[in-house]
Amino acid sequence: MTAVLERPSPARTLRRGAARVLLDNWTGTATVPSRTLYPHQWSWDSAFIAIGLRHLSARRAQRELESLLAGQWADGRIPHIVFNPAQPYDAYFPSPDFWQSSTAGRPSGAPAAPETSGIVQPPVHALAAWLVHLADPAESDRRGFLARVHPRLAAWHDYLLTRRDLGGGGLAAVVHPWEPGMDNSPCWDGPLGSVTPAGPDTYRRADLYHGQAADRPTDLDYGRYVRLATDYRATGYDDRATDHAFAVEDPCFNALLIASERALAAMGRHLGGSGAEHEKRAQALTERLVERLWDEEAGLFRARDLVAGGLIGEAGVTGLVPLVVPGLPAEIAGRLADTVAGPHFRAPATGLVPSYDLTGHAFDPQRYWRGPAWFNTAWLAHQGLRTHGHHARADDLRRAFLAEAGRSGFAEYVDPTTGDGRGARNFSWTAALTLDLLAHEEEPLP
């Protein structure tokens, strides 16, 4: 680990700062996104964190993913939070006593321990596991890392492609705005409009103790989040028994599922199999993604509302993430690359990618996923641009990412119009993906 910290380079200060964030946020078994705002283990956070941790310690990156998989349910789902029992319930809401996973979730296969949430997050885990393996293949093979995680990740994908194919079109659906990871995106305003919010006296927000109200989702949105989670819990988190008031096919979620299917295929080949089943699924998912979610006129993908029917008109960064799919038709990849670099999604002052259309009616440069630029989606856009041969644009985005990550103190997200840091500082995935861009700018995806 010390070799990375001591390696002389022009980016040494940035590298040391990013490494320090990950060391400070390590709990002994996993990495918290933030010591204050997010004191537990989050699902897609840990995947991105592992991608960066592998440059410090491949062994620790493996442990990051394995600790998350310890909370996997018997039905295959990987919950979006694995709770740290050492933290008091009032450290974060919704807390373990809200989700009641070990009791309410038992019919769906929730473990007796650890306590978890009942919903999921984007399936970037298999991609992360493959990249962690590549960081030190000999150590990975010696520990049997891929042999252990491959069947669990395959079960996770099986869950998404069966129980979560709510629209019958072959794509996975999300059933809560927290599941696509872009909680209060304007893309969800329409689908949430018919959800009756839980009463404000039925819960207490903990996020406002550590974050500015202007940065966070509104009380109205939060009340709707609580209502959806409460209704899901009432059915034992059974996707077939729940009458979902919110059900959406999200482009980012499904694009990461495709990338991870390709990673599972690479793992299978490494373990002595053919990987053909996962390659076939990745190809089929890519075709369905284009058929169901591509908007030719807009030059991006849109989410599909399965309750009201039809594509959602809002343009969010979720519609750009499919650039990470290597099998995307060339003409669509070219249109997406143009959209990333165009006036709707390239912030001139920072060069970063906002979470929502800069010219959109709901754009807010400070409030969470309603406009701020996030570093994980910038990393995904960078990977996608490289994947499809847009190297000059990828290099521009990489430089912008590294400049703003360092200048903001590894902020959770930034105002795309000014670069001012928002949300938590010393945020783990910002630091982790900084390390990745510093270390392996030319590493291909599977």
CB distance 192 to 246 below 8 Å: yes
Q: What are the residues whose beta carbons fall under 8 Å from the beta carbon of 280, sequence distance 6 or more?
A: none
Q: How far apart are CA 137 and CA 131, in angstroms?
A: 10
- Strand spans (E) along 143-282: 248-249
Token pair belonging to 310 = 């039809």
Give the residue carrying structure tokens 């962690």.
132
Helix 43-53 × helix 12-24 angle, to 10°: 130
Residues paired with 42 in a beta bridge: 81
Question: Among residues 64, 136, 207, 412, which one is catalytic?
Answer: 412
Residue 26 has phi, psi (to 5 degrees) of -80, 135
Residue 38 β-bridge partners: 34
Annotation says 441 is catalytic: no
Backbone phi, psi, residue 232, to 5°: -65, -40
Q: Which of 183, 249, 250, 357 is catalytic?
A: 183
Q: Which of 205, 214, 194 is nearest to 370 (CA)?
A: 214
24 is an active site residue: no
Instruction: Report DSSP state, residue 111.
Output: -
DSSP 38: B
Q: Is 298 exposed, middle or buried (0-12, 13-18, 19+ CB in 10 A)?
A: middle
Quickly list DSSP for 403-437.
HHHHHTTS-SEE-TTT--EES-SS-HHHHHHHHHH
Residue 211 CB: number of other CB atoms within 10 A? 19
- Residue positions annotated with a catalytic role: 183, 412
